[in-house]
Amino acid sequence: MNRTSFISGFFVFLLFITFNAQAQPDRVTGKTFATRSEVIAQNGLVATSQPLATQIGLQVLKNGGNAIDAAIAANAALGLMEPTGSGIGGDLFAIVWSAEDQKLYGLNASGRSPLGMSYDDLKKELEKRDRESIPAYGVLPISVPGAVDGWFTLHERLGSMPMEDILAPSIKYAEEGFPVSELIAYYWQIGARIHSDRTGAFKEEMTIDGRGPKKGEIMKRPELANTYKLLAEQGRDVFYEGEIADKIDAFMRENGGFLRKKDFEEHTSEWVEPQSVNYRGYDVYELPPNGQGIAALQMLQILEAYDLASMGYNSEKALHLMTEAKKLVFEDRAKLYADMDFANVPLEKLLSEEYADERRQLIGDRAGNDIKAGTGILEDGDTIYLTTADKEGNMVSLIQSNYRGMGSGIVVPGLGFVFQDRGELFSMDPNHANVYEPGKRPFHTIIPAFVMKDGKPFMSFGVMGGAMQPQGHVQIITNVIDFGMNMQEAGDAARWRHTGSTQPTDGADDYLRGDGTLNLESGVPYSVIRGLMSRGHDVQYDVGGYGGYQGIKLKDGVYYGASESRKDGHAAGY
């Protein structure tokens, strides 16, 4: 080894030691561990990213509600208590196991772009701002919020408790106040700095004197309480056809926005067929595009041919293969995943064993580069994921988001919630499947997951966090199925995250040049890191960006729950 190589390697080693010291020291060994025991319960279980929201969901179950009611109640609470990742200005996706129907339901409750804004209109607006891509903030990236319609669509088909009772706990907390939890306070303060001067009522309704609340500080949100009351009393129509839609229409007209009441009146959620692949005897389910869930399925199809268990958890070879599978699949994701009402997404081919074998042939012993899609800016996002289960056997896997933390930063005065900025995720390349069009759903990062075994529910889980999500889903699946971890161990295990792949917002002819970056959490042994670097991987170390996990497993009539130790998460049952 020459002197330069030695110095470079020693510097990397020092970085590794530094990040281990700053992060979770008990991950240094790289061995399986858990920050806590699994939560084990027979009658019901709720896992969310905020302890008070978990308690609200659990109380709904104890009061006679089912898992669907509990999921809606917990989501409403998170929109109140964790607006840094959720809220009724955003969209929702869910996979639900109905014990009565013995059926797995999929719901796409994402909103569409303004009907009155053409591609040329949007292009002119971007030119005014001297931009080529859709901005992250302000009125331009706002699409119709689908979460409220998602709640009521789920409730109408599968719920049991009156919506007034489901929303009552969140209304009370919004009026009387709640103490802000630690990580949420951190992100809320960042959001306040970004958006406090934004057009609308963000500063007045989402901050305390222009700043985000501190850890433990009591936060009240009376405007959101009033909006929740309207929903409880008048149902979804007040949001999409009545008073709330009218206020949004008026605000958008006055402030250069393109959403109109007509966009809300024509909005609908869509029941969709969950897609699946069989991974070592387990049927893993994700929702079809406009989301990215099938990326996890494509990765699993590629990985099933390899004996990961014999390679070992976080071994050099296993990490290499997983990273290479991700790189191949994400090029397909960048080119082909889009609203299926507008684009012909070749689902059958993408999920086929034949196509997985074709793509697998491109994986060698070294890090691949110059990767393109097969024939035939999204790295970060703040989201909430929650899962619930009840004594009847119903299970809900639900994810909901405003996209970039506190979304667009736009708050219509008096409504108390921030609008999402999902429209940022359209491409402006007219030849791209995900190109902006009126009335079209943008590419979505948020994905719930569900696993069945022999026709029965086995596991409901998710890992929120932008482009981390499919990668995180694959890691949870392999941790449980290949490496034999329990639900909490599977979430606490050190994670990896590859970045640099082509994005669905890029051009139709773009592709991955180079090999991107493999980010590793502390806990991967340096001998493995050195081996990955020798294969050509650009390895870096990152203490954040690995998503947020919740999960529930059902075994012999008993639920086993787990929550994210890297966040304010909490799982509880009874």
Predicted confidence band at 17 (pLDDT cuts at 50, 70, 90)? Answer: very low
Are 394 and 457 in contact, with CB atoms under 8 Å apart? Answer: no
Weakest-pLDDT range from 320-324, 390-394, 523-527 = 523-527
Question: Measured in Å, how far apart are the chain's first and last C-alpha atoms?
Answer: 59
Question: Judging by beta carbons within 10 Å of its beta carbon (0-12, 13-18, 19+), is residue 42 exposed, middle or buried?
Answer: exposed
- Examine the pLDDT at 321 and tell me if it is beyond 70: yes
* Dist. CA 193–CA 478, nearest whole Å: 39
207 is catalytic: no
Question: What phi, psi does 39 have (nearest 5°)?
Answer: -90, 125
pLDDT of 10: 36
- Gap between the Cα atoms of 211 and 191, Å rounded: 9
pLDDT of res. 82:
97
Q: Compute the distance between CA of residue 188 and CA of residue 213 in angstroms, rounded to an integer.
A: 7
Q: Nearest to residue 474, comparing CAs of 334, 289, 291, 294?
A: 294
Query: Would you call 365 exposed, middle or buried from its count of C-beta atoms within 10 A (0-12, 13-18, 19+)?
Result: exposed
Contacts of 4 (CB under 8 A, 6+ apart): none
Q: What is the DSSP letter of 435?
A: B
Question: Residue 484: CA atoms inside 13 Å, Cβ hemisphere, count?
Answer: 4
* pLDDT per residue as tens digits for the range 473-503: 999 999 999 999 999 999 999 999 999 888 8
- Predicted TM-score (pTM) of this structure: 0.92
**C-alpha to C-alpha distance for 523 and 542, rounded to whole angstroms:** 12
Half-sphere exposure (Cβ direction) of 332: Cα atoms closer than 13 Å: 26
Region 247-268 average pLDDT:
98
Cβ atoms 403, 384 nearer than 8 A: no
Mean pLDDT of 301-315: 97
Are the C-beta atoms of residues 509 and 432 closer than 8 Å to each other? Answer: no
Q: Is the pLDDT of residue 119 over 90?
A: yes
Closest-CA residue to 44 (of 560, 449, 563): 560
Question: Per-residue pLDDT for 545 more than 90?
Answer: no
Evaluate the CA torsion angle 529, 473, 476, 491 in order and state its sign: positive
Instruction: Provide the pLDDT for residue 22.
Output: 34
Report, as an integer, the average pLDDT of 203-211: 96
Catalytic residue among 54, 323, 383, 445: 383
Give 515-564 as a DSSP string. --EEEE-TTS-HHHHHHHHHTT--EEE-SS-S-EEEEEEEETTEEEEEE-
Residue 234 has pLDDT above 70, yes or no: yes
Report the pLDDT averaged over residues 378-391. Answer: 81
What percentage of the chain exceeds 90 in pLDDT? Answer: 84
Read off the pLDDT of each residue in 141-164 and give the average, rounded to a whole number.
98
Residue 380: the pLDDT is 54
Interval 318-325 mean pLDDT: 97
For 529, other C-beta atoms within 10 Å of its C-beta total 21
Domains along the sequence of the chain with CATH? 52-269+414-425 (no CATH), 272-380+445-573 (3.60.20.40)
For residues 374-402, give the mean pLDDT.
82
Higher pLDDT, 10 or 131: 131
Amino acid type, 506: D
pLDDT band at 370 (very low <50, low <70, confident <90, very high): low
Residues whose CB is less than 8 angstroms from the CB of residue 237 and which lie 6 or more positions away in sequence, other chains included: none
pLDDT of 378 reads: 45
Report in angstroms the alpha-carbon separations of 136 from 121, 123, 324, 432: 18, 15, 30, 20
Q: Which residue has the tokens 């599968």?
A: 158
Sequence-ordered alpha helix ranges (H) in 287-423? 293-303, 308-311, 316-336, 347-350, 353-360
Burial class of residue 509 in the structure, from the number of CB atoms within 10 Å of its CB (0-12 exposed, 13-18 middle, 19+ buried) = exposed
